A and B are shown apart, each in its own frame.
Chain A
Amino acid sequence: MLRYTLRRILQMIPTVIGVIIVTFILFNLVGGSQARTVLGERASVQALEEYDEVRGFNRPLFFGWWTRTRALEDTNFEHHAGFWRTLQGAAHYPAEGNLASRVHLKPGETYEIPLAFDLREDVSYRLRMRYRTAPDSTSAIVVETKTVIDGVSGTNDLETRTELNPSAKWQMAEVLISPAENVSSRKIVVDVGGTDIEVEAISLRRGMKSPWNSQFTFYLLQIVRFDFGVSSSTNQRVSDLLRAGIGPSLALTIPIFVIGLFASISLSLVCAFFRNRFIDRFFVVVAVGLMSINYLIFIIAGQYLLAYRWELFPVWGFESWRYLMLPVLIGVVTGLGSSLRFYRTVMLDEMYRDYVRTAFAKGAGKKKVLFKHVLKNAMVPILTNIVVAIPFLYTGSLLLETFFGIPGLGYLAVNAIYASDVDVIRAIVLIGSILFVLANLVTDISYAAVDPRVKLS
């Protein structure tokens, strides 16, 4: 038994890893930084950078020495000159023939490329520039960072100064920049010597102290510490939001679950008892009908008719148990159709087993067979269904909570989706998935405890 349990726990690990990878791919790789969507078009570059810093988005995805920085946007000259248009004397040429679009800089000029914010002092930066010079040129091009202190500008020490060789062929230049301490470095200066140069692409990358300091490890650490960051819409800690939401969610879903379970199992027993008689047929038709009505309709109709028109229940809010009655009622009714059908099939499957025939042959009454024999044996599929449904209780019901203003996790999730609040959604999805995996584990182990054959497979 212990060995089986251990094996089953080991088997669980890949699924947990899978869930972590899927959420990571979904929210970091595909979703990327939501900074723009969350903070709006007018947000300053610094605010965007800060948003990414808090959420670990300004790091390499898995591994890497260099990462993007918003100080200088990667410039693709294909459609426009980008920041170069603000620089006097730089001319932008669109692509022609086999020449990519590029920016032309005149000889003898100094061009100051503005940076969005001060470069950080503790790390170094890498500027990459693809350039070429006039064929006969011999003079060097100088690239350096420039500091601006109290409006007086001056270049800082020589370490940040790099000379590029003239080259008639396209060449990729790499310039390492280490911003000096206590000075602000807000400009990169390109001092064009006595030659024309053309620039095809330019990019700035921030160096990482450790290549392992990536978005993925950041995410893993968050999971290990059970700290899911800060919600971007409410600025509260995500773990606090989750803790506040779980109570109302469970207050809604547990009654739905328990009442729904009793209702559907007892109705399915009634169906099995009166098999193929009017009551059975009637419930089957009702079940199919209930399954075909959209969830939304139940909620809207229930809220409008029962609460608003007939004033049987409060319409909206979460103040006392009375406010939960209508959502619970609606939740039970919506789930009834499919679960009634499921449990009826389970009961009828059992009805044809040999032991049932034996029981009848021994002269046991229909009621006794049904409640004592069939129900007991049908408990195995019923229990699986129950345990597997339990983790979904925690996410609450997105729609019921939204409609009735119950401040649970479903309500939280829907609002987070409206606000593109990645951290909150990611945390809810992740925890829901892990609970599901754990519930499956518990089911399997308890099966093995009851039925030794399971261990063999």
Chain B
Amino acid sequence: MTERAAQELPEHRSWGSETFRRLAAGKLNLFCLAVVVLYTMLAGYGEFVHFASRAADETPAYNVPNIELKYLPPSLLRSRIEPAEGAFPSAWEHFLTHPLGTDGLGRDVLQRLIQGTRIAFRVGIVTSLIAIPIGVLLGCLAGYFGGRVDDVVVWIYSTFASIPGLLFILAIAMIVGQGLLGVYLGIGLTTWVGLCRLIRGEVIKHKERPYVQAARVLGIGSARIMFFHILPNVFHIVIVTFTIRFPAAVGTEVILSFLGIGVKGEPSWGVMISNARLQLWQGIWWEMTFVTLAIFFLVLSFNILGDALRDALDPRLREDSAS
């Protein structure tokens, strides 16, 4: 009996594996996923290096200047670029210690890039942890209760939406003070509006669905219906929003740090661009190039993944393929 029932039912896949199957249909998507995983591992490694040097109470290797090795070109281009003055390690040693060259203070570009990845991930994750809960909570409340609650939430988000974005972020970062906290709050507190709108709209649609009405008839509390019944059904929006806002937050952090309002003393990508820009005029191009590439590949992978996830998670498309 049970066997027959199992045979008649279509093959069941969990939500996660189904999403992955759809995502993996494109080779490019898999490649981008691999790139994101690689960056995540680098960020984790950077975090480890950062904390290890802090625990040992010493200047981390990526911040130790070594004037003798300044402006060392990338090791593969060693023979093609006339070496500047100063001592240089052997070609092999060069490859092992400074594969991507050094900056104007003789600090290793690769290590600093990894630290930049660490900061980019911190910003991407922390700002999401601020913005997504605000957006989801307000969106659910407004959509579910409607009426006065909805009016207030719409009022709040239309107010936030009217304020020019980058200026708003800069003003918050200025007021909170310099450093990463200002960047977190600046980006986090201003970028929840889009998500809030989407969630509100979706919740309004779901509110009238039979499953919600059934739950209401059963006497289940509003909070439970909102967060345990409706939210899982609109959660794909949160995931897609995360993949879209992550690269945007990274890009904003780069601009803030470049302007000197974000990170200080740590090699964020924005700080590196700001340093490398001055070197560029002297013909020292490698730091700028590698930072550009690092940002480009991370953001590109997230952009492509975001598009793919939007398609893979869209419930309408799912039902189509199931039928």
Contacts of B172 in A (CB 8 A): 26
For residue A168, CB closer than 8 A to chain B, the reply is: no
Are A297 and B292 within 8 A (Cβ)? Answer: yes
In the complex, what distance in Å separates the CA atom of A67 from the CA atom of B1? 82
In the complex, what distance in Å separates the CA atom of A296 from the CA atom of B270? 9
- Number of contacts between A and B (CB, 8 Å)? 113
Are B158 and A15 within 8 A (Cβ)? Answer: yes
Are A295 and B255 within 8 A (Cβ)? Answer: yes
A15-56 Cβ-contact flags toward B at 8 Å (1 or 0):
100110111001100110000000000000000000000000
B154-176 Cβ-contact flags toward A at 8 Å (1 or 0):
01101111111011101110111
From B159, B164, B299, give the contact of A18 (CB < 8 A).
B159
In the complex, what distance in Å separates the CA atom of A391 from the CA atom of B161? 12
From B163, B259, B292, B304, give the contact of A293 (CB < 8 A).
B292
For residue B296, CB closer than 8 A to chain A, the reply is: yes
Are B164 and A300 within 8 A (Cβ)? Answer: no
Are A308 and B281 within 8 A (Cβ)? Answer: yes
For residue A270, CB closer than 8 A to chain B, the reply is: no
Are A428 and B292 within 8 A (Cβ)? Answer: no
In the complex, what distance in Å separates the CA atom of A399 from the CA atom of B251? 13
Contacts of A434 in B (CB 8 A): 162
Are B155 and A304 within 8 A (Cβ)? Answer: no
Contacts of A295 in B (CB 8 A): 251, 255
Contacts of B45 in A (CB 8 A): none
Are B175 and A31 within 8 A (Cβ)? Answer: yes
Which residues of chain B (129-172) have a CB below 8 Å from chain A?
155-156, 158-164, 166-168, 170-172
Are B303 and A428 within 8 A (Cβ)? Answer: no
From B162, B259, B295, give the contact of A294 (CB < 8 A).
B295
Contacts of A392 in B (CB 8 A): 164
Which residues of chain A (374-422) have a CB below 8 Å from chain B?
391-392, 395, 398-399, 402, 413-414, 417-418, 420
Contacts of A443 in B (CB 8 A): none
Across the interface, name the chain B residue whose C-beta is closest to A409.
Answer: B167
For residue A14, CB closer than 8 A to chain B, the reply is: yes
For residue A256, CB closer than 8 A to chain B, the reply is: no
For residue B247, CB closer than 8 A to chain A, the reply is: yes
Across the interface, name the chain B residue whose C-beta is closest to A391.
Answer: B164
In the complex, what distance in Å separates the CA atom of A242 from the CA atom of B251? 28
For A22, A426, A428, the residue with the greatest tally of chain B CB atoms inside 10 Å of its CB is: A22
For residue B273, CB closer than 8 A to chain A, the reply is: yes
Contacts of A425 in B (CB 8 A): 167, 170-171, 174
For residue B258, CB closer than 8 A to chain A, the reply is: yes
Contacts of B163 in A (CB 8 A): 19, 22-23, 429, 432-433, 436
Across the interface, name the chain A residue whose C-beta is closest to B163.
Answer: A433
Are A14 and B166 within 8 A (Cβ)? Answer: no
Are A429 and B167 within 8 A (Cβ)? Answer: yes
Are B288 and A398 within 8 A (Cβ)? Answer: no
Contacts of B158 in A (CB 8 A): 15, 18
Across the interface, name the chain B residue whose C-beta is closest to A297.
Answer: B292
For residue B224, CB closer than 8 A to chain A, the reply is: no
CB distance from A457 to the nearest CB of B (A): 13
For residue B38, CB closer than 8 A to chain A, the reply is: no
Looking at chain A's contact residues, the main secondary structure is helix
Across the interface, name the chain A residue whose C-beta is closest to B260.
Answer: A418
Are B292 and A414 within 8 A (Cβ)? Answer: no
Are A300 and B160 within 8 A (Cβ)? Answer: no
Are B273 and A22 within 8 A (Cβ)? Answer: no
Looking at chain B's contact residues, the main secondary structure is helix
From A292, A301, A414, A437, give the contact of B259 (CB < 8 A).
A414
Are B261 and A417 within 8 A (Cβ)? Answer: yes
Are B303 and A433 within 8 A (Cβ)? Answer: no
Across the interface, name the chain A residue whose C-beta is closest to B302.
Answer: A292
Contacts of B162 in A (CB 8 A): 15, 18-19, 433-434, 436-437, 440
Across the interface, name the chain B residue whose C-beta is closest to A29.
Answer: B175
For residue A95, CB closer than 8 A to chain B, the reply is: no
Across the interface, name the chain B residue whose C-beta is closest to A337.
Answer: B303
B63-83 Cβ-contact flags toward A at 8 Å (1 or 0):
000000000000000000000
In the complex, what distance in Å separates the CA atom of A89 from the CA atom of B167? 53
In the complex, what distance in Å separates the CA atom of A272 from the CA atom of B265? 49
Contacts of A433 in B (CB 8 A): 162-164
CB distance from B299 to the nearest CB of A (A): 4
A219-232 Cβ-contact flags toward B at 8 Å (1 or 0):
00000000000000
In the complex, what distance in Å separates the CA atom of A417 from the CA atom of B303? 31
B241-268 Cβ-contact flags toward A at 8 Å (1 or 0):
0000001000100110011110000000
In the complex, what distance in Å separates the CA atom of A395 from the CA atom of B254? 20
For residue A259, CB closer than 8 A to chain B, the reply is: no
For residue A129, CB closer than 8 A to chain B, the reply is: no
In the complex, what distance in Å separates the CA atom of A26 from the CA atom of B170? 12
A419-452 Cβ-contact flags toward B at 8 Å (1 or 0):
0100001101100111011001000000000000
Across the interface, name the chain A residue whose C-beta is closest to B288.
Answer: A300
Are B159 and A417 within 8 A (Cβ)? Answer: no
For residue B87, CB closer than 8 A to chain A, the reply is: no
From B174, B254, B288, give the contact of A420 (CB < 8 A).
B174
CB distance from A219 to the nearest CB of B (A): 15
For residue A151, CB closer than 8 A to chain B, the reply is: no
In the complex, what distance in Å separates the CA atom of A19 from the CA atom of B161? 10
Are B170 and A292 within 8 A (Cβ)? Answer: no
For residue A288, CB closer than 8 A to chain B, the reply is: yes
CB distance from A404 to the nearest CB of B (A): 14
Q: When A15-B162, A26-B175, A304-B280 are in contact, do A292 and B156 touch as well, CB less than 8 Å?
A: no
Are A293 and B171 within 8 A (Cβ)? Answer: no
In the complex, what distance in Å separates the CA atom of A399 from the CA atom of B303? 23
Q: When A291-B303, A294-B292 are in contact, do A19 and B247 touch as well, CB less than 8 Å?
A: no
| Residue positions of A touching B, CB distance < 8 A | 14-15, 18-19, 21-23, 26-27, 30-31, 288-289, 291-297, 300-301, 304, 308, 391-392, 395, 398-399, 402, 413-414, 417-418, 420, 425-426, 428-429, 432-434, 436-437, 440
Not counting A417-B261, A436-B164, A440-B162, a sample of 12 additional A-B residue pairs whose C-beta atoms are within 8 angstroms of each other reads A23-B163, A291-B299, A293-B292, A294-B255, A296-B270, A297-B295, A300-B273, A300-B277, A413-B167, A414-B259, A425-B174, A429-B164
A-B contact pairs, 5 of them (CB 8 A): A30-B175, A293-B296, A294-B251, A426-B171, A432-B164
Among all A-B residue pairs, the 6 with the closest Cβ atoms = A18-B159, A292-B300, A432-B164, A292-B299, A31-B175, A433-B162
